[in-house]
Amino acid sequence: MSRAVLSIGSNLGDRLDRLRGVVAGLGPRVTAVSPVYRTAPWGGVEQQDFLNAVLLADDPAYEPADWLRHGAALEDAAGRVREVHWGPRTLDVDVVWCGTAAGAVRSDDPWLTLPHPRAHRRAFVLAPWLDVEPEAELTADGVTRPVRDWLAALDPAERDGVHRTGDDLGAAGAR
Please give the backbone phi and psi of residue 48, each rounded to the nearest 5 degrees, phi first: -65, 155
In a domain, 171, yes or no: no
Which of 50-54, 80-84, 167-171 shows the lowest per-residue confidence on average (mean pLDDT)? 80-84
- Tell me, yes or no, whether 169 lies in a domain: no
- Report if residue 25 sits inside a domain: yes
What CATH code is carried by the domain that includes residue 108?
Answer: 3.30.70.560
56: nearest Cα among 98, 16, 21, 101: 98
Q: Is the pLDDT of residue 162 over 50?
A: yes
Average pLDDT value for the chain: 90
CA distance 157 to 163: 12
> Does residue 107 form part of some domain?
yes
Residue 164 forms beta bridges with which residues? 37
Total domain count, the chain: 1
Q: Give the structural domain span for 42.
A: 2-164
Q: What does the angle CA 13 – CA 14 – CA 18 come to, to the nearest 5 degrees?
A: 105
Question: Could you list the active site residues?
Answer: 80, 89, 92, 94
- Domain membership of residue 120 (yes or no) is yes
Q: What is the mean predicted confidence (pLDDT) over 126-139?
A: 97
The answer as to whether 21 is a domain residue is: yes
The answer as to whether 172 is a domain residue is no
109-113, 155-159, 170-174 — most confident range:
155-159
Question: Residue 173: what pLDDT?
Answer: 42
Collapse the DSSP code of 132 into the 3-class scheme (helix H, G, I; strand E, B; otherwise coil) and give the result: helix
pLDDT of residue 103: 84
Question: Which residues, including other chains, have CB under 8 Å from residue 75's CB and lie 6 or more apart?
Answer: 89, 90, 91, 92, 93
